[in-house]
Amino acid sequence: MSEDPYRTLDVSKDATDAEIKRSYRKLARQYHPDRNPGDAAAEERFKSIQSAYEEIGTAEARSNHDQQKRMEEMFSRGGVSSPFGGSDLGDIFSQFFGGRGGKTSGFDFNFEGNHQGRKKSHETPRGANIEAGIDISMNQAIRGADVKFSHRRMRICSKCKGTSFGSSSQCSSCNGYGVQTKGSTITVRVPKGAEHGHLLRLKGMGHEHPEGESGDLLITVRLDAEDGRRWEEGRLVQEVRIPYSTLVMGGKVRITTPDRKKVQIEIPEGARIGDRRRLQGHGHSGGPLDVEFVLSEPEKLTKSQREALEILRESGL
Ligand SMILES: [Zn+2]
């Protein structure tokens, strides 16, 4: 239950949706009951991989999960226990009450500050910011791109125009919150040369507040690292599969870089799994590319490979 789905799926928090899907498929294959018959540990792992994927496997589920996590962090930071008990966080409160006029960049969640309490405040109320992510390819990042983005946000109630907020008048449309959830689709312009983790702030595109300014929409641009690669704190890391014999005795291995160039890498004698080399100029947009040595594990052995391994075994290797 409390397991972090990102950790279970072996991806970072800022991985693209596609990356999450790839990692899920790989792990699900690895721990699938068909492949591990009668293995209780594998079965358990398979189940947690499945439930982690249910939590963050679609953009919508993921955004709900992330929002809930942000709320939980916020409450634990403020030392206030969550009135939501971990559920129903998609409700009106979690989305609505944001920080007050420019004082903080994020939320300023004060639970005394309900309708009435807030009216006494001298500070201008402000709708909450919305945090989200959009995924683009590395090519799109180099050229810049216009990306369609859909999200739900609180808008001033079209019936009462927000006037029922904090008053005793009833509004059947918004139940006195003065705002309603509405979906909107916008086109987001990602600038040329955007890097992984680039933050776009769309002023006033967050939640609206019936008595104050709107929050902002904060979009993190995520670049899909593609199969066999991942981002690590802004660094692009590519796995290089190396046969065991080459790893131990040294040799050469060819890789395909993000630019689709074939590059030969020298593997020194006695290399270890997890060793890294930095290739300057072969990463995203001419940046560095870190290659990490991993063991190439054959799915099936040929007859001669099996014979060779038998000899290895006899020799004690
Ligand atoms: Zn209304």
Q: Name which of 78-87, 135-144, 226-235, 277-286 the model is least confident about.
A: 78-87
pLDDT given at position 77? 56
Q: What is the pLDDT of residues 92-128, one digit of tens each?
A: 444 455 433 333 334 444 333 344 444 445 678 889 8
Q: Name which of 1-15, 101-115, 153-167 the model is least confident about.
A: 101-115
Q: Are residues 17 and 82 in the same domain?
A: no
Residue with tokens 């507040």: 209
The whole-chain average pLDDT of the chain stands at 85
Q: What is the pLDDT of residues 30-86, one digit of tens each?
A: 999 999 999 999 999 999 999 999 999 998 899 889 988 887 876 665 544 444 444
Q: Are residues 50 and 78 in the same domain?
A: no
Pairing of strands 179-190, 145-156: antiparallel
Domain count, the chain: 3
Confidence of residue 184 (pLDDT cuts 50, 70, 90): confident
> How far apart, in whole angstroms, are the C-alpha atoms of residue 175 and residue 183?
19
Query: Rounded to the nearest whole angstrom, what is the distance from the C-alpha of residue 103 to the centroid of ligand 1?
Result: 28
Query: Rounded to the nearest whole angstrom, what is the distance from the C-alpha of residue 125 to the centroid of ligand 1?
Result: 18
pLDDT given at position 3? 86
Query: Rounded to the nearest whole angstrom, what is the distance from the C-alpha of residue 165 to the centroid of ligand 1?
Result: 8
Q: Is the pLDDT of residue 90 over 70?
A: no
Q: Are residues 41 and 119 in the same domain?
A: no
Q: Are residues 260 and 142 in the same domain?
A: no
Choosing from 223, 239, 272, the residue where a domain stops is: 223
Supply the CATH number for residue 192's domain.
2.60.260.20
| 220: its two tokens | 């993190």
Query: Rounded to the nearest whole angstrom, what is the distance from the C-alpha of residue 120 to the centroid of ligand 1?
Result: 21
Whole-model pTM? 0.75
Q: Are residues 77 and 191 in the same domain?
A: yes
Query: Rounded to the nearest whole angstrom, what is the distance from the C-alpha of residue 119 to the centroid of ligand 1?
Result: 18
Query: Rounded to the nearest whole angstrom, what is the distance from the C-alpha of residue 153 to the centroid of ligand 1?
Result: 15
Choosing from 223, 249, 280, the residue where a domain stops is: 223
Q: Are residues 108 and 128 in the same domain?
A: yes
Q: Are residues 11 and 111 in the same domain?
A: no
Q: Is the pLDDT of residue 218 over 60?
A: yes
Query: Rounded to the nearest whole angstrom, what is the distance from the C-alpha of residue 210 to the centroid of ligand 1?
Result: 10
Query: Rounded to the nearest whole angstrom, what is the distance from the C-alpha of residue 35 to the centroid of ligand 1?
Result: 56
Query: Rounded to the nearest whole angstrom, what is the distance from the C-alpha of residue 234 to the centroid of ligand 1?
Result: 45
| 286: its two tokens | 């001419």
Choosing from 223, 250, 271, the residue where a domain stops is: 223
Query: Rounded to the nearest whole angstrom, what is the distance from the C-alpha of residue 208 to the centroid of ligand 1?
Result: 13
pLDDT given at position 76? 66
Annotate the chain with three-state secondary structure: CCCCHHHHCCCCCCCCHHHHHHHHHHHHHHCCCCCCCCCHHHHHHHHHHHHHHHHHCCHHHHHHHHHHHHHHHHHHHHCCCCCCCCCCCCCHHHHHECCCCCCCCCCCCCCCCCHHHHHHCCCCCEECCEEEEEEECHHHHHHCEEEEEEEEEEEECCCCCCCCCCCCCCCCCCCCCCEEEEEEEEEEEECCCCCCCCEEEECCCCCCCCCCECCCEEEEEEECCCCCEEEECCEEEEEEEECHHHHHHCEEEEEECCCCCEEEEEECCCCCCCCEEEECCCCHHHCCEEEEEEECCCCCCCHHHHHHHHHHHHHCC
Query: Rounded to the nearest whole angstrom, what is the distance from the C-alpha of residue 183 to the centroid of ligand 1?
Result: 17
> How far apart, in whole angstroms, are the C-alpha atoms of residue 105 and residue 153?
18
Q: What is the pLDDT of residues 238-272, one digit of tens each?
A: 999 999 999 999 999 999 999 889 999 999 999 99
Q: Are residues 215 and 297 in the same domain?
A: no
pLDDT given at position 52? 97
Query: Rounded to the nearest whole angstrom, what is the distance from the C-alpha of residue 85 to the centroid of ligand 1?
Result: 28
> How far apart, in whole angstroms, are the C-alpha atoms of residue 303 and residue 99?
67
Query: Rounded to the nearest whole angstrom, what is the distance from the C-alpha of residue 158 to the centroid of ligand 1?
Result: 7
pLDDT given at position 239? 95
Query: Rounded to the nearest whole angstrom, what is the distance from the C-alpha of residue 170 to the centroid of ligand 1?
Result: 8
Query: Rounded to the nearest whole angstrom, what is the distance from the C-alpha of residue 168 to the centroid of ligand 1?
Result: 12
Q: Are residues 42 and 127 in the same domain?
A: no
| 137: its two tokens | 């390819």
Task: Provide the residue range defining the domain that includes 297.
Answer: 229-315
| 210: its two tokens | 């019936």
| 144: its two tokens | 């810049």
Query: Rounded to the nearest whole angstrom, what is the distance from the C-alpha of residue 257 to the centroid of ligand 1?
Result: 55
Quote the radius of gyration of the chain (alpha carbons, Å): 25
